[in-house]
């Protein structure tokens, strides 16, 4: 005989099963790398309670869940939702390796990585979006988790469109088009939080 609390959990899980099945079926129609736009958290499993996501990991859906975390990040950029961006990162921070940083030529690679807080990352995104208020994110190849057992890296080949039309950090806009593109790899932990980012990209005028 199940206890009252256990029975409540079972009933709650049963209520979410149709949702999980529907989301899985929707994602099976189109492979992640063929997605051209970020997926909203309301349309994937990352929008469900933590318990459901943990069950998904146990059921072998870890790669899909990690891809959806990265979709959530890009969707936050695309919709200028800074709290959503911050929520994607581990509370203790994430290591950022910008391969194209101009400073990299003077710093050994193993010293380039820097642990920064989610709030710092959110603020940097806010400053960039203030300079490019019409910025939209699109994919050449959407977020795709690497092959192989225990490969928790998700890569995305993205590009951004927009205009340098806003004032940010005291830099006057010149109306130039935003034509930045690059590939970013995200290390997503078992807690479905981004722990590390490796960026290769072109530059904007801002």
Closest CA to 135 of 77, 83, 75: 77
Range 137-156 average pLDDT: 92
pTM: 0.75
- Reading the block at residue 98, the tokens are 């910008």
Of 62, 82, 184, the residue nearest 130 (C-alpha): 82
Which whole number is the average pLDDT over 146-174?
92
Average the pLDDT over 60-74 and give the result: 90
Is residue 102 pLDDT above 60, yes or no? Answer: no
- Decide which of 179 and 52 is more confident: 179
More confident residue, 206 or 174: 174
Which residue, chain included where needed, has tokens 């994919």?
Answer: 139
């Amino acid at each position: 005989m199940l206890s009252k609390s256990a029975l409540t959990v079972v009933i709650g899980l049963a209520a979410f099963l149709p949702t999980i099945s529907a989301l899985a079926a929707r994602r099976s129609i189109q492979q992640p790398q063929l997605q051209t736009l970020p997926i909203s958290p309301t349309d994937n499993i990352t929008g469900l309670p933590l318990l459901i996501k943990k069950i998904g990991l146990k059921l072998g859906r870890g790669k899909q869940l990690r891809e959806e975390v990265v979709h959530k990040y890009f969707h936050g950029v695309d919709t200028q939702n800074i709290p959503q961006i911050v929520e994607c990162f581990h509370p203790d921070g994430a290591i950022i390796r910008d391969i194209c940083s101009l400073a990299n030529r003077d710093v050994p690679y193993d010293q380039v990585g820097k642990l920064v807080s989610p709030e710092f990352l959110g603020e940097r995104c806010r400053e960039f979006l203030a300079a490019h208020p019409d910025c939209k994110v699109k994919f050449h190849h959407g977020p795709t988790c690497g092959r192989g057992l225990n490969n928790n890296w998700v890569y995305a080949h993205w590009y951004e469109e927009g205009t340098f039309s806003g004032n940010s950090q005291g830099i006057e806009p010149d109306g130039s088009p935003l034509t930045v593109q690059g590939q970013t790899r995200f290390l997503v932990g078992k807690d479905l939080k981004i722990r590390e980012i490796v960026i290769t990209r072109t530059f904007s005028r801002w």
